[in-house]
Amino acid sequence: MVHVVALWLNYNSSKAWDVVKESLHSVLNLERGNFDLTILVIDGGSTDNSPDLIRKYINEAEAKNRVVIYRLIENKGYAGNMNSGYEYAVNNLGADYVVFLNNDIIVQVDSLRRLFEWIKKEDYVGIQGLELRPDGSIGNAGAFHDEFGRVMLSCTGYSINECEIDKPYFVTYPSGAYALYSVDFISDLPGRQPFITETFMYFDDNYLGLMAWQKSQKVAYVPVIAGVHHGSLTIKSAHGKKAKDASLYIIMRSKTALWENIKCKHQKLFKLYKSRIYLMAKLGLLNENVRRGIFDGFKLAEVVREKIAIIDLEKAVHLEFPTSYYVGQSMIPGFGSIYRAVVKHSTHIRRLRKYIRYPDWLGLTK
């Protein structure tokens, strides 16, 4: 029988234990479908007492699924910790499919069974379902990159009844908070790993989706309620008051590494846009954490390029807005915010569909 291993990642989560415990409970009790299921609890070298809390809870809980605890010596971020967990899942547990899970998402009990049904009946290598926020609104229904690498999360902020999410559709990448992937696909990636360890975090789910499209493989959103995601809870728990600064730095570092390793249709405008941002960083006109992220992102970009070469955005499902939008982005600081306010640049999938571009080999029109 097919073996699915769910990788649930923990790091220094004791300050958010109430949510983390609920997440763990939901994962331990996921329904199985036509597959065997093992829950692999990965601890990324935590220095607080969260590993003890987790082990105690697992020992006392009546889990419906087999559980394995895998504790790492040091923290290598989401990317490195998940890579270690993935290797263990494949080499020691015989995984055919893997689920990447944050410890701040409370999953729907039937979600994995239904996701597995979708990935088996369609030729997808990676999928996600519908992520909800704690207030019941939509967190995201899949993620898209635009021509400048900007991320737009489909249907964010809408209610379930407001957004047209009852059918599957291709996305640039599935969200890393809860995504199901084929091991056969990952085995064909550089290093036979899902992520690039050096990226640490915030350059993982988008990388995996983009690499699927580079290899003419499909990733998609499917109409399954995945669960409730308490976004960024882990980094807030680990970094406390410095969480915002840490996020700004890591996000900009990862964004720069991506910018330096993608090509797109509007490459000249994209180069102008990047040059303007980089000049502002050199002149000290940006937040210090953003500036550090950019400069360190150049170094990370070299590592990424050496491992995967350049990512061609035209080979991936992505968003392409009117050329005037990219001209404004390239030349006017803050243009994106102004444009979105004026034209009500919403994330409703009905609106986004007007701008979705597909790789030629799919044989689909825009």
Q: What is the per-residue pLDDT for 243?
A: 77
pLDDT at residue 177 is higher than 90: yes
**CA–CA distance, 15 with 2 (Å, rounded to integer):** 37
Count of Cβ atoms closer than 10 Å to residue 186 Cβ: 23
Nearby residues of 304 by Cβ (< 8 Å), 6 or more positions away: 196, 198, 199, 203, 257, 258, 260, 261
Give the pLDDT band of residue 252 (cuts 50, 70, 90): very high
Q: For 82-140, write each residue's pLDDT tens digit.
A: 999 999 999 999 999 999 999 999 999 999 999 999 999 999 999 999 999 999 999 99
pLDDT at residue 264 is higher than 90: yes
Q: What is the per-residue pLDDT for 238?
A: 67
Q: What is the per-residue pLDDT for 237?
A: 66
Q: For 35-93, write each residue's pLDDT tens digit.
A: 999 999 999 999 999 999 999 999 998 888 999 999 999 999 999 999 999 999 999 99
Count of Cβ atoms closer than 10 Å to residue 280 Cβ: 15
Of 157, 160, 196, 153, residue with least CA distance to 177: 153
Give the pLDDT band of residue 347 (cuts 50, 70, 90): confident
pTM, whole model, 2 decimals?
0.95
| Helix boundaries (H) for the chain | 17-28, 50-60, 77-91, 111-121, 183-186, 205-214, 233-239, 243-259, 267-282, 288-308, 323-331, 335-343, 349-352
Cα→Cα distances 363→123, 127, 310, 357, 359, Å: 15, 20, 24, 11, 8
Q: What is the per-residue pLDDT for 261?
A: 95
Give the pLDDT band of residue 239 (cuts 50, 70, 90): low
Beta strands 138-140 and 124-132, pairing class: antiparallel
* CATH numbers and ranges of domains, the chain: 3-230 (3.90.550.60), 237-362 (no CATH)
Q: What is the per-residue pLDDT for 343?
A: 55
Q: What is the mean pLDDT of residues 253-259?
A: 95
Lowest mean pLDDT among 123-127, 205-209, 349-353: 349-353
Nearby residues of 297 by Cβ (< 8 Å), 6 or more positions away: 252, 253, 254, 255, 256, 257, 259, 260
DSSP run (H or E) holding 12: none
Q: State what percent of residues in the chain have pLDDT above 90.
A: 82
Give the pLDDT band of residue 224 (cuts 50, 70, 90): very high
Count of Cβ atoms closer than 10 Å to residue 190 Cβ: 12
Q: What is the per-residue pLDDT for 345?
A: 53
Q: What is the per-residue pLDDT for 259?
A: 95
Average pLDDT, the chain: 93
Q: 176 exposed, middle or buried (CB, 10 Å; 0-12, 13-18, 19+)?
A: buried
Q: For 136-158, write each residue's pLDDT tens digit.
A: 999 999 999 999 999 999 999 99
pLDDT at residue 344 is higher than 60: no
As a residue count, the chain comes to 366
Q: What is the per-residue pLDDT for 366?
A: 57
Q: What angle do CA 331, 335, 341 make, to 5 degrees?
A: 165
